[in-house]
Amino acid sequence: MREAVTIGIFWIALGLLCYVHFGYPLILVALKRFRPRVVRRGEVCPAVDFLIGAYNEEGVIREKLENCLALDYPRDRLRIIVASDASTDRTDAIVMEYQDRGVQLIVSPCRRGKAVNFREIVPGLKGEIVLFSDAGSFYRADTLQKMMRNFADPEVGCVGGRLRYRNPDATSVSQGEGLYWGYEVFLRKSESAIGSAMVLSGAVYAIRRELYRPVPDDLPDDFLCPLQVLDQGKRVLYEADTEISEKMATSARAEMLTKVRIISGNFAALRTMKHLLNPVRNPLVALQLLSHRLLRWFILPLAALMLLASLLLAHRPFYLLALVGQLLFYSLAGVGWLMDLGGKRSRLAFLPYYFVLVNLAAAWGAWNGLANRGRGTGIWEPVER
């Protein structure tokens, strides 16, 4: 009986792991082929309030503003606002140099987090569209124009752009992130083609101003805002024909801290919107959130269960072979970790290493969310980027 239970655990864990990595993408491909949902794009030019959250960004804020001012979009339809979260460096002084070019600076009286600042600023804006952006992300000139064309469709309430990570160091972490990001882009494009994307980047997403809902101080706006748009019956799209560049983390520690923080907050945010997981309410959205978000946060616990079951069943040839394969995979991950510590790279080892790294961060973040530690102050210190 015990052995039957162990065998069941092995196959359930393996089945869920295969579903998350291969089954769900195949479902998206099939739905995109047989049940596509067209977006009625058009050449529109809505008034846009370009809102940039910044804290101690003196190293990039000048480049960011020059980038915004060079966008291929009518200046009389674009208002650039920097929300400084009580920066203590030269960020505010640099932004003030651009006031005669139409850039507005709003300074928080104290450090309180991006969500609080945005919540106070957005109700006073006049543009039809609010675009939220990070200070360290830079846009191709036609990015805004290509994002706005989706708003010609009245069913579209939120649009995100495509982030392209750049890193001249090309460490094992950045190589892994690049490969992971390619997979993530595929999912977001496919989800948009059949309805709505479940995830957008905080570096670039735009929503109709009337659909904006205040975000609690301690929750991530870039995850919660699109879910709030979905909750109001509008589509959330991923515009892949754009290019926003941002430097990625170069060290394992920086990558871990970033992902743990993001997933902890996202898990807490999803708990406030858990009704979207109800398949009776919207079967497709529930399936997408479960597959693209919730299950992916528990990949490492599932893998650990499969490894333990393989160990207990190692007296059977098939499960012994499965155990050896898993141990080889994790050994390569260990080699990748050791090489990364020494500043070296291995094409063979970096994928297992990054798989363990990103899923360890996901499990840690999910645990924080389950323990109700995902809701912090809304204030965070930028890690190395």
Angle at 55 between CA 182 and CA 228, to 5 degrees: 55
- Whether residue 368 contacts residue 265, with contact meaning beta carbons closer than 8 Å, is answered with no
Mode of pairing for the β-strands spanning 129-134 and 204-208: antiparallel
Give the span between the Cα atoms of 356 and 330, in whole angstroms. 8
Task: List the 138-139 sheet strands across, edge first.
Answer: 103-107, 78-84, 48-54, 129-134, 204-208, 156-166, 235-247, 138-139
Q: Is residue 371 part of a domain?
A: no
Q: Is residue 222 part of a domain?
A: yes
Any idea what the CATH number is for the domain that residue 69 is in?
Answer: 3.90.550.10
* Structure confidence at residue 375 (pLDDT): 55
Q: Is residue 293 part of a domain?
A: no
* Structure confidence at residue 383 (pLDDT): 44
Q: Is residue 236 part of a domain?
A: yes
Q: Is residue 170 part of a domain?
A: yes
What are the tokens at 136?
């360290």
* Structure confidence at residue 374 (pLDDT): 52
Q: Closest by alpha carbon to 134, among 192, 54, 208?
A: 54
User: How many domains is the chain partitioned into structurally?
Assistant: 1
Give the span between the Cα atoms of 48 and 77, in whole angstroms. 6
* Structure confidence at residue 112 (pLDDT): 82
pTM summary value? 0.87
Angle at 66 between CA 60 and CA 68, to 5 degrees: 100
Q: Is residue 203 part of a domain?
A: yes
Q: Is residue 267 part of a domain?
A: no
* Structure confidence at residue 307 (pLDDT): 96
* Count of C-beta atoms within a 10 Å radius of residue 32: 16
Judged by DSSP in three states, 57 sits in coil
Domain limits for position 80: 48-255
Instruction: Write down how long the chain is.
Output: 385
* Structure confidence at residue 298 (pLDDT): 94
Give the span between the Cα atoms of 364 and 275, in whole angstroms. 24
Give per-10-residue mean pLDDT for the chain (385 aa). 90 97 96 93 94 92 95 94 92 94 91 86 93 91 94 96 69 56 88 93 91 88 92 94 74 74 89 93 94 94 96 94 95 85 72 88 88 58 47
Q: Is residue 294 part of a domain?
A: no
